[in-house]
Amino acid sequence: MSSEPIGVGVVGMGTIGRRHVEALGHLEGDVRLVAASGGAASTLAELGQADAVHVSPDEVIAHPDVDVVVLCTPSGLHGEQTLTALRAGKHVVVEKPLSVDVASAEEAVRVAEERGLFVSVISQRRLEPQSQYVKRLVDEGTLGRPVLGEAFVHWLRDDAYYAHAAWRTRQDQGGGSLMNQGLHSVDLLAWLMGPVTQVTAQYDTLGHDMDAEDTTVATLRFASGALGTVVTSTATPPGRPATMKLFTSRGAAEFANSDVVSWDFDGVPAPPEPNAAPGSGASDPSAIGLAGHLAQWRDIVDAYRSGRPPAIGARDGLATVRLLCGIYEAAETGRAVTLDQPDVPVAAQTLERSP
């Protein structure tokens, strides 16, 4: 690979798109923002990127100097836009989720692998120091046999948040609390505890007047035999940091966002404290901080330079979409869903609600 700065194009310049541009500004010399779409053209200058051109999404993807396309658009567009960028010969960085349906997520994996391109799905919680530490100990067996994992996202989003972007109110566009707010917690729990094989669930809209669910409760069975619980909501004022609890045959740990609340494993040191703790986003989606995105961008740059896959790739994103769609399927049907059972084709699982 050339040592020249990597050409980056950003599609979508809302809160998260601006966060990516800010992260790129910390990687000067390694990356160069070539083009961006969405928002006001003046935003680029405000973020110190006056040399980048402000064009349409299609022009960002087609720009000859763009090597990596960053998708920060509404969730319902991610699958289609990822495929468009891959077919244009670009590597892709896509905000969560990879897609709102399993079929296009599977297609993204296939196209990326066929063309030798990478897709890095933003799952920055996995790269936090304490997450890396716990994952290593779980995989080594140091913490014992996994027994129970719990993830709770008791957040608040007000009416203004939903009025700002109509897609947030729609189930089929990924606006629900599970897919939009709870995804990172679900992804992290499944990554730490191992693959999920079966789910049951219920959901409802309890605090807002909209189509999308705002509260979901699910139970999980992991391949290891361990069990789990996931609770997500945007209707629980005042909004509290997401929490996670891990129970094994040797002890237990509890985390509030990235903070270690308790660590009860005799003889095993607690995880390291992060250098820059991310905000929780519990009641303010803009308060998540920059550290997580910057850590993932450093991995993306290294992956591009070395030719290795990124730490969090398309198959990781597919696994998470498959899990979330399985939870929604379980809530819709009122039955347990085995994620790989032959009578429920994976490609048929979507986020769309029944009438």
Cα dihedral: 38, 39, 45, 46 (round 10)? -140
- Segment 208-215 shows an average pLDDT of 98
Structure confidence at residue 345 (pLDDT): 35
Query: 300 is written with which tokens?
Result: 């993306």
- Average of per-residue pLDDT across 165-184: 98
Residue-wise DSSP of 26-75: TTBTTEEEEEEESS-THHHHHTT-TTSEE--HHHHHH-TT-SEEEE-S-G
In percent, the amount of the chain with pLDDT more than 90 equals 88
pTM here is: 0.92
Q: How far is CA 31 from CA 26, 71, 117, 213, 256, in A?
A: 9, 16, 18, 39, 33
The predicted-structure confidence for 103-140, as pLDDT tens digits, reads as follows 999 999 999 999 999 999 999 999 999 999 999 999 99
Q: What is the mean pLDDT of residues 21-43?
A: 95
